[in-house]
Amino acid sequence: MVFCMNSPAGSLPNTVVAPLPDLERLAGALSHTARWKMLKELTVGEPRTIAELAAVGGCSYESAVKHLVVLRQAGLAVQERGSLYHIPKQYLPKPGEPVVDYGHCLLRLDAAG
């Protein structure tokens, strides 16, 4: 976690700001349609299995595993026990909003087909 400490004295209380994902990894992770579809599914807010994400992404189980490694390394997905995946809480959009704010960019995941 990063604390925002650069505001003028007394103007804002110290707020906790989530660190931004690495821009290069973010861009690489978003370069495949299957990963966009997986991210879109994860924005629902419920953990998903590899098999569920493979079906959503339109790829094999083995390909989904590789795609999820890329998403994890970029900080866009987190793996729980039992091979369940979810989006980190700081990136979860408000219910009904298909836009995810990664700091560097806003993603409209409803455009993921």
* Predicted local confidence at residue 37, as pLDDT: 93
CB contact set of 97 (below 8 Å; sequence gap of 6+): none
- In the chain, the domains with their CATH numbers are 20-111 (1.10.10.10)
CB atoms within 10 A of CB 21: 20
The whole-number pLDDT of residue 101 equals: 86
pLDDT in tens, 34-87: 999 999 999 888 999 999 999 999 999 999 999 999 999 999 999 998 889 999
Q: What is the pLDDT of residues 88-110, one digit of tens each?
A: 988 888 887 878 888 878 888 77
Q: pLDDT tens digits, residue range 75-93?
A: 999 999 888 999 998 888 8
Secondary element (H or E) of residue 40: helix 33-42
Burial of 40 (0-12, 13-18, 19+ CB in 10 A): buried
Chain centroid, CA 85 distance in Å: 10
Q: How far apart are CA 45 and CA 100, in angstroms?
A: 12
pLDDT at 2 over 50: no
Question: What's the rounded Cα separation, in Å, for the pair 51 and 16?
Answer: 35
